[in-house]
């Protein structure tokens, strides 16, 4: 896949980039979020060199996170180049890099980013939450936001257990989040936690 040639800054501490992947026939979104220890890249795809230089500026990459076993993308490339660990659930180990650090529900990555396990979605599915700037969720596959589906759940045919996934997602309601970013889909930039509650309650979002 051709590297993405640009990125979008969502907030002062949050950026995303994306590219259409012909192999999977879907748009792949990646996120960079500032932490106390440096940038955390989430489900990264490659960036063209000028865009990568602009994204990093004076920041250092401190780690890479994989939100499920389907989202390795360029994670190992970045981890190897910058000599940083890859964080993910123990069930996201099809690639088995030596730098892999298993994380569990309730733990933090780089001291700032909360891990929320989402059982029943893809193998090794986790959601990430940062409390900075009124809160941000970074999702793997459990929630999507693109046409023709809109903001909704991962279709049941792609889940290991759809009912269990919906139940697991309720854990996100314990967190405040103005924004929600996706591995597949357009970000929600306001009232994300309210929209999530309405979706989980089965009301119109």
Strand-pair category, 38-42 with 26-35: antiparallel
Task: Please report the pLDDT score of residue 205 as a whole number.
Answer: 47
Give the residue extent of every domain in the chain. 8-200
As given in the structure block, the two tokens for residue 196 are 């999530």
Q: Which residues have CB under 8 Å from 126's CB, separation 6+?
A: 67, 68, 88, 89, 103, 105, 115, 116, 117, 118, 140
Q: Which residues have CB under 8 Å from 148's CB, separation 6+?
A: none
Using DSSP's 3-state secondary structure scheme, residue 185 falls into strand
Q: Which residues have CB under 8 Å from 76's CB, separation 6+?
A: 86, 95, 97, 99
Predicted structure pTM score: 0.96
Task: Please report the pLDDT score of residue 54 as a whole number.
Answer: 95
Task: Please report the pLDDT score of residue 203 as a whole number.
Answer: 64
Instruction: Give 50-94 pLDDT, tens digit per residue.
Output: 999 999 988 899 999 999 999 999 999 999 999 999 999 999 888
* CATH topology assigned to domain 8-200: Metallo-beta-lactamase; Chain A (3.60.15)
Task: Please report the pLDDT score of residue 84 as a whole number.
Answer: 98
Strand partners, 130: 113, 136
Backbone dihedral angles phi then psi of residue 27, each to the nearest 5 degrees = -85, 130
Q: pLDDT-based confidence at 152, cuts 50/70/90?
A: very high
């Amino acid at each position: 896949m051709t590297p993405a040639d640009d990125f979008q800054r969502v907030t002062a501490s949050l950026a995303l980039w994306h590219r259409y992947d012909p192999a999977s026939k879907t748009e792949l979104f990646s996120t960079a979020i500032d932490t106390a220890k440096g940038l955390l890249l989430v489900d990264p795809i490659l960036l063209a060199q000028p865009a990568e230089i602009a994204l990093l500026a004076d920041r250092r990459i401190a780690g890479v996170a994989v939100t499920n076993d389907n989202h390795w993308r360029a994670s190992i490339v970045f981890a190897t180049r910058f000599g940083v660990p890859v964080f993910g659930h123990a069930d996201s180990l099809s690639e088995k890099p030596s730098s892999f650090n298993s994380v569990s529900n309730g733990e933090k990555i780089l001291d700032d980013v909360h891990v929320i396990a989402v059982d029943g979605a893809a193998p090794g599915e986790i959601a990430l939450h940062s409390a900075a700037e009124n809160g941000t969720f970074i999702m793997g596959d459990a929630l999507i936001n693109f046409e023709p589906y809109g903001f909704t759940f991962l279709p049941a045919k792609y889940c290991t257990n759809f009912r269990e996934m919906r139940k697991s997602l309720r854990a996100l309601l314990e967190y405040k989040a103005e924004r929600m970013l996706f591995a597949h889909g357009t970000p929600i930039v306001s009232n994300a936690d309210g929209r999530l509650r309405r979706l989980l309650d089965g009301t119109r979002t």
